[in-house]
Amino acid sequence: MATAVQRVKLEVMAVSAVRKKVGFVSLGCPKNLVDSEVMMGTLAEGGYEITNDAAAADTVVVNTCGFIESAKQESIDAILEATRLKSNGEVSRVIVAGCLVERYRDELVAELPEVDAFIGTSQVADILKAADEEFDASELTITPIGNKSATYLYDEYTPRMRATQGHTAFVKIAEGCDRPCAFCSIPSMRGSFRSRRFGSIIEEARALAKDGVKEIVLIAQDSSRYGEDLGETDALAALIRALGEIDGIEWIRPMYAFPTHISPAFLAAIAETDKAVKYLDMPLQHASRDVLKLMKRGGTRESLERLIARVRGSVPGIAIRTTFITGFPGETDEDFEELLTFVRNCRFDNVGVFTYSDEEGTPAFDLPNKVDPKVAKKRRDLLMKEQARISRDLNRAKVGKTFRVMFEGLSQESDLLFQGRLPSQAQEIDGYILINDMPDGFEPVIGNIYDVRITEAHDYDLVGEIVG
């Protein structure tokens, strides 16, 4: 999973002969959230309007995640809660959408007869049909994903209703994935890799800038391959440079780059484009040669350390975020120690660690030498403890220095504090700067960028004061 599981609740009201309200629950990664936003926009264009009143919803839509066991369980729990509301007479219709549907459609249909319609990742545009109580959900066209025939991609003309804060927006630049990673089920849920048109992304970004968006976050399952299927070379680098020319956009943040596709042109675009944040999200998953081979990713600790050095040499001051998996089948104590050494050597700015989830249908599911889940968790805890120490040291080095910070309003931790983010902090996953002071009479605006002097350092968050 590229990021920690997000839970976003949205409510929609339909205006028709009978006034209807639709409760919308979106689970999973930002890529799934964009699908939810597209479904929201489609409903809005079809005559629906936003409401904050979920208590009287007639229809509930659950957009699911199906990536790992914990995400699947969260999705099942949300579906069961929706069907409970239906059985109690509180809602009249339940729609289940997203990755879990794409992966387990037949089983879900058999086990959940109370659900009125199932929409896979290739059927996002069918949400209006599914929401219509007069429509026979069995007539929905199903595009099979398993044979890689899915073609759905939203574009600049697709209706969309954003659920993020007004100053930041996710822009999906590609869909699907062709990587053979042994632990991953994404190709079976999202289909083969396919890029959006260059001009489509630029036009969407321009519209977002006119709507007040300051930060564009470029997302895909593998953003570093953007444009390859269209016959383009280094298209992501060209896209970053073009986005940097759009008035109103302040930060451009590409996410989810694959380590074998970190090209000199891509790094040059980040280094030379003022609006491109000096930040690289690059999931590495492990550092042991043997484990990387079993994962079908390749590489060694030494080759990855050379890559990190190349990145930092090309973009001075760049912050690097990565993710790792502990407990992959065949991971030995020696493999884990090598991973720990790698983290100590590279001193990443931000790290996420997941324990291995044994997913049927993936090559790793059939591998021998499974690691005890308790051992996997212990290794995860040790790795996160080491990263906390590194992060604390890096944060302490920032105390007394002043940085440009995007202001985001009241803190999630306390109404007595404000919060903001450094360019090195992606929203929701990398921590915040807690702001406890500012000049008398100063009224900061959400989305604006201010100078903040760091006064305190914690493991992941910082504390500072606005100085200009």
pTM (2 decimals)? Answer: 0.92
Q: Which fold has domain 168-396?
A: pyruvate-formate lyase- activating enzyme (3.80.30)
What would the mean pLDDT of 225-253 be, rounded to a whole number?
97
What does the angle CA 120 – CA 4 – CA 122 come to, to the nearest 5 degrees?
Answer: 15
Alpha carbons 259 and 326: distance in angstroms, whole number: 19
Other C-beta atoms lying within 10 Å of the C-beta of residue 10: 22
- H/E/C letters for each residue in 360-391? CCCHHHHCCCCCCHHHHHHHHHHHHHHHHHHH
Give the CB-side neighbour count of residue 198, counting CA atoms within 13 A: 17
Q: Which of 98-107, 130-139, 366-375, 432-441 is predicted with the least confidence, judged by mean pLDDT? A: 130-139
Alpha carbons 275 and 10: distance in angstroms, whole number: 31
Q: How does strand 418-421 pair with strand 433-437?
A: antiparallel
Q: How far is CA 191 from the centre of its chain?
A: 18
Cβ contacts of 102-109, under 8 Å, gap ≥ 24: 102/66, 102/145, 102/188, 102/189, 102/190, 103/66, 103/185, 103/188, 103/189, 103/361, 104/66, 105/142
Alpha carbons 269 and 249: distance in angstroms, whole number: 16
Give residue-wise pLDDT tens across range 284-339.
999 999 999 999 998 999 999 999 999 999 999 999 999 999 999 999 999 999 99
Buried b vs exposed e over 17-54: b needs ≥16 C-beta within 10 Å?
eeebbbbbbbbbbbbbbbbbbbbbbbbbeeebeebeeb
Give residue-wise pLDDT tens across range 21-31.
777 889 999 99
Give the CB-side neighbour count of residue 149, counting CA atoms within 13 A: 5
**What's the pLDDT band for 147 if we cut at 50, 70, 90?**
very low
| Percent of the chain surpassing pLDDT 70 | 92
- Domain ranges within the chain, ordered by starting residue: 6-139, 168-396, 402-466
Domain 402-466 in CATH 3.40.50.1820? The answer is no
Contact 169, 208 (CB under 8 A): yes
Superfamily the domain 6-139 falls into: Methylthiotransferase, N-terminal domain (3.40.50.12160)
**What's the pLDDT band for 7 if we cut at 50, 70, 90?**
very low
Whole-number pLDDT of residue 206: 98
> What type of residue is 201?
I
Whole-number pLDDT of residue 18: 43
Q: Which of 176-180, 234-238, 312-316 is predicted with the least confidence, judged by mean pLDDT? A: 176-180
Among positive and negative, which fits the CA dihedral 379, 385, 390, 391? positive
Whole-number Cα distances in Å, 123 to 119, 143, 271: 5, 8, 39
